[in-house]
Amino acid sequence: MISLSKIKGSILLLIASLVWGSTFVPQKIAMDFWSPLQFTSFRFLIGGVILLLFLNIKEIKVNNKFHFIICSSSSGLILGLAALFQQIGIVSTSATNAGFFTGLYVLMVPLIGIFLLKIPHWSIWPCVVICFFGSILLGTSKESLFSLDLNIGDIWVIISALFWAMHLHIVSYSVKRFPVLIFSILQFVLCGTFLFLYGILFQKDLIFNFESINSYAIFTLLYCSLGSVCIGFTLQMFGQRLVSPTPAALIMSSEAVFAAIFGWLILSEVLNLKGLVGASLILLGILLVQILPKLRIN
């Protein structure tokens, strides 16, 4: 029988993926007004500050403060690199492709796990393969199965997928040792601060350029701050307390499916038959990762 806690964790991760999938479109639109560095640093700073409103400082209890700061700083730095590289890529690729290539971390998470001596059980690997090939079908061109037609934006997003995989492992380690909300807030604030300081030191003209900012720019920033950061990433933290890294990555690969759906609904980025098959495979892999481990136990 599947444990209630794992079902709860899986639902939280699925909702987080839905929210993230919905933010690829505003992230794409935001690049008409913001630079990638501006947008990424501001959305995490705003998200962290908003979450502070829900924190009861008197209830904060962290046993090993030094360990907590190290984990939060590491998570914030890796998160900042992942989000920035993804945002740079979104400038020159579609929202659908950004979701697809981000989803490639489904393969990277178990591979990193091997180096961390966290080897997934064999029953997980078929699910990884199914989700990976689902992503391939979702992201390849209409003409040829393996014709990826990569541009520079796609490459940036693929690089970001590696950092997303690293971040997932750091989160998995940290949320089981520290209070989730304070960990989330600190990593978001540090993430935004790291990127903002980099902008001040090396890209001052970009970080303080607000000439193109209007109501649409503010809306995209606030939507991604509230949706992606406050809701999506915080749900990820709570979900990963209950689900191990590789199954969590498989569930969150549904982000690519949701990105394709929202790309179609809002930006008219058409998903062909091959893409629909790919999306179905990803959903199948997510379902199997819930079932196969229980079959081997029984």
Residue ranges of domains in the chain:
4-297
pLDDT at 94 over 80: no
What mean pLDDT do residues 96-110 have? 79
56 sits in the region (left: phi over 0; alpha: psi -120 to 50; else beta) called beta
Q: What is the pTM of this model?
A: 0.86
Exposed, middle or buried by CB within 10 Å (0-12, 13-18, 19+), for 52? middle
Task: Check residues 257 and 145 and name the one with the higher pLDDT.
Answer: 257
Q: What is the pLDDT of residue 297?
A: 47
Higher pLDDT, 139 or 145: 139
Distances (CA, A) of 130 to 76, 134, 136, 204, 277: 31, 6, 10, 45, 11
Residue 198 has a pLDDT of 95
| pLDDT, greater one: 57 or 244 | 244
Average pLDDT over residues 152-156: 87
Please report, as a single letter, which amino acid is at residue 148.
Answer: L
pLDDT value of position 147 = 57
Across the chain, mean pLDDT equals 84
Cα dihedral angle (65, 70, 76, 79), rounded to 10 degrees? -130
Specify the pLDDT at position 214: 93
Angle between helix axes 105-115 and 152-174 (nearest 10 degrees) is 50
The pLDDT score that the predictor gives to residue 65 is 83
